Amino acid sequence: MRVLSISGIFLVATTQIVAGNNLNLAEERAAAVQQAFQLSWDAYYEHAFPHDQLKPVSQGADDSYGGWGATALDALDTAILMNNQQVVDQILDYVPTINFRSSSQGTVSLFETTIRYLGGLLSAYDLLNGPFSHLINDTSRATTLLTQADELAQSLKIAFNSETGMPYNGIDVGNQAIQGDPTNSLATIGTLVLEWTRLSDLTGNPEYGNLSQKAAPYLFNPQPSWASPWPGLVPNNLNISTGEFISDAINWDGGSDSYYEYLIKAYIYSPSQFSSYRDTWEAAVNSTIANLLQNTTTSSGQNLAYISTWDNGTFSSSMGHLVSFIGGNFLLGGSVLQRQDIIDYGILLTDGWYAAYSSSATKIGPGALSWNATAAADAGQSDQYDQLGFYYTAPQYVLRPETLESYYYAYRITGDQKYRDWSWEAFVGINSTCWTGSGYAEINNVDDTNQGGGFNDLQDSFLLAEVWKYAYLIQTDDAVWQVGKNGTNQFVYNTEAHPIKVKGN
C-alpha cells in the first residue's frame, strides 16, 4: 500500500544506450540496470544520505519514514544481489549508527517501517549469512543487522497494545505512545506477519511473530456479516477496539493489497504454520476471479482482463497501478498451489498491464486506467477507449514497481523471454524519462517524452528496493534467491521486494 503525491519541476535529461559487444543480451541489460542503480544511489548518497529519500530536482532530502535513512536500508539487499561491494560497505558502515529508539518525526508508520526497514535488515541478514557471505569478512557485519532489527521491533511493538491485539499504525517511538486513529486498514494490519515472524525465528524470541499473528482471526472470520459478500474478500478498514470492519470497500488497491499478497507469502514462508492463510488466499482469489475480474476488448479484437473494485453493491471498472502486482501474486500462488488456472489468470492480468505500458509514448504505464465506456465518453476519452479498450484516468508515474514485479514472476514461472523484453522496454522508458541529471524523479505524464511532462521532486526509496531489483533479477540466471519455477522457493519477497529466507532452509 502506498500513498500518491504529485507536483512538478524540470531539468534536462540525457539518454544514451549502453553499447555492449561481447556480453549476451540479458547480461548487457542487467549491467545497464546496475548502472541505473548506481546513479540513483550516488545522487542520494551525495545529496540526501542519511535522510530518507533524495529530492532529485532540488538536490535536497526528504524524511517521510522516520528519518533513519530509508533509501539506504531499502537499497542494501539490491546492492548485495548486484554484488556491489562499495555500496554494500557504505550501507553496512552506517547501519550500526542508527538509533531506532528516537525519530526526527513525531509519528512513524508501523507498516512502512516494517516493510522498508525491518524487511531490508532481515533480507540483508539472510543474504549475507547465506549466498552472499563473500561480501563480508567479519560476521559481526551481518549480526549487527539482526541486532538492529531487534531494536527496531522493540521500539515499534507498543503498536500492538490494544484490546484486540490489532495494531495501531501511528507510533511516537520516542515517547512510546500511540498516535492517531482508533481504526486501521486491512493492509497495514495484514502486512506484518512475514517480517515479524522471521524476526522471531532468527532471534528465538516468539513475541514478535505472536504479536503480528494475533489479529488474523478477525480478518479470517469477518464481522459484521455484511462485511464479506464473497469468501476471502473483506473491506479495507477496521475498528481496532472491536476488531470489526467499518467500511464496505472491497478491492486489491492501496489499503487492502498487501494483506492478500501476504496470505500466500506467509504460507510459503512456513507451510505448517500458515495453512489457514493459504486457504484464505485461495478463497480470496477464487472470489476475485468470479466477481472482480472484468474483460475489455481492443480495436484489434484482443481480450484484456483487469480487476475492478466494489463498494457496497457498486462495481467500478477501474484499476490503479498499485493493483498491477496481482498478476505476479496469482502466478506465485498458482505455482505453489499447483493451480494452473490461477497461473493462467496471472498471465492474463500481467498481459493487461503490458498493454497499458506499451500504449504510452514513454512505454511507462499510467497511474490508473478505466475500461468503462460511459465514463470514457463523459471524460472525452472515447477515442483512446475504442482503440485500447481502456483509457488513462491518472497519467502520472511515481516510480512504482508493481508491473515490473509481475513481469518478474511471469518470467521466472513461465520462462517466456517476452517478459524479459517487456521489463527491459519499461526500464529504458523509466531510465530515460525520469532521469533528472542527479537521480530519478516521479513524472506527471507518461504520454510526454519530454521529461514526462514535468518532474515531481522525489526519488522514492522503492525505486532502489524494487524497480531496479525486479528489472535486474529478471535478466539474471536462476539462483536460490530467485523465485522458483515450479512452486519451490528458498526465499520469499516481502512487499518492498526484500527477499526473506523461508523457514527451515
Ligand X SMILES: *[C@@H]1O[C@H](CO)[C@@H](O)[C@H](O)[C@H]1NC(C)=O
Residues that bind ligand X (CB under 6 A): 14-18, 32, 36, 39, 85, 135-137, 182-183, 206-207, 210, 239, 241-242, 246, 248, 279, 282-283, 286, 293-295, 303, 305, 312, 315-317, 348, 372, 374-375, 378, 428, 431-432, 435, 486-488
Closest CA to 406 of 353, 479, 475, 476: 353
Q: Which of 52, 442 has the CB closer to ligand X?
A: 442
Q: Report how far residue 300's alpha carbon sits from residue 302's, in angstroms, rounded to the nearest whole number.
A: 6
- At closest approach, how far in Å is the CB of 466 from ligand X? 18
Q: Which of 6, 348 has the CB closer to ligand X?
A: 348
Q: Which of 177, 480 has the CB closer to ligand X?
A: 480
Closest CA to 502 of 273, 211, 210, 198: 198
**Residue 302: C-alpha distances to residues 210, 348, 423 (Å):** 48, 11, 21
- Which cell numbers hold the place of 152? 527496531
- At closest approach, how far in Å is the CB of 180 from ligand X? 12
Q: Is the peptide bond before 50 cis (omega within 30 degrees of 0)?
A: yes
- At closest approach, how far in Å is the CB of 174 from ligand X? 25
The DSSP bridge partners found for residue 178 are 171
Question: Residue 243 carries which DSSP code?
Answer: T
Q: Please tell me the number of Cα atoms within 13 Å of 450 on its side-chain side.
A: 2
Q: Which of 103, 280 has the CB closer to ligand X?
A: 280
SS3 238: strand
- At closest approach, how far in Å is the CB of 408 from ligand X? 18
- At closest approach, how far in Å is the CB of 364 from ligand X? 14
495 annotated to a ligand binding site: yes
Residues 6 or more apart whose CB falls under 8 angstroms from that of 194 comprise 119, 262, 265, 266, 269, 492, 494, 500
- At closest approach, how far in Å is the CB of 414 from ligand X? 15
Q: Which of 191, 372 has the CB closer to ligand X?
A: 372
The DSSP bridge partners found for residue 391 are 370
Q: Which of 317, 360 has the CB closer to ligand X?
A: 317
Q: Report how far residue 159's alpha carbon sits from residue 181's, in angstroms, rounded to the nearest whole number.
A: 12
Closest CA to 127 of 137, 136, 118: 136
Q: Which of 3, 18 has the CB closer to ligand X?
A: 18
- Which cell numbers hold the place of 309? 473494485
Q: Report how far residue 403's alpha carbon sits from residue 361's, in angstroms, rounded to the nearest whole number.
A: 17
- At closest approach, how far in Å is the CB of 65 from ligand X? 26
- At closest approach, how far in Å is the CB of 104 from ligand X? 30
SS3 156: helix
- At closest approach, how far in Å is the CB of 118 from ligand X? 18
Q: Which of 103, 288 has the CB closer to ligand X?
A: 288
Helix, strand, coil percentages (3-state) for the chain, rounded to 5, are 50, 15, 40
DSSP letters spanning 263-275 = HHHHHHH-TTT-H
Residues 74/116, Cβ–Cβ less than 8 Å: yes
Residues 6 or more apart whose CB falls under 8 angstroms from that of 400 comprise 2, 321, 322, 462, 467
* φ and ψ at residue 250, rounded to 5 degrees: -115, 125
- At closest approach, how far in Å is the CB of 336 from ligand X? 9
Residues 199/128, Cβ–Cβ less than 8 Å: no
Q: Which of 107, 316 has the CB closer to ligand X?
A: 316
Q: Which of 146, 305 has the CB closer to ligand X?
A: 305
- At closest approach, how far in Å is the CB of 36 from ligand X? 5
Torsion angle, CA of 110/111/112/113, rounded to 10 degrees?
40
Q: Which of 28, 447 has the CB closer to ligand X?
A: 28
Binding site listing: 495
Positions at the binding site for Ca(2+): 495
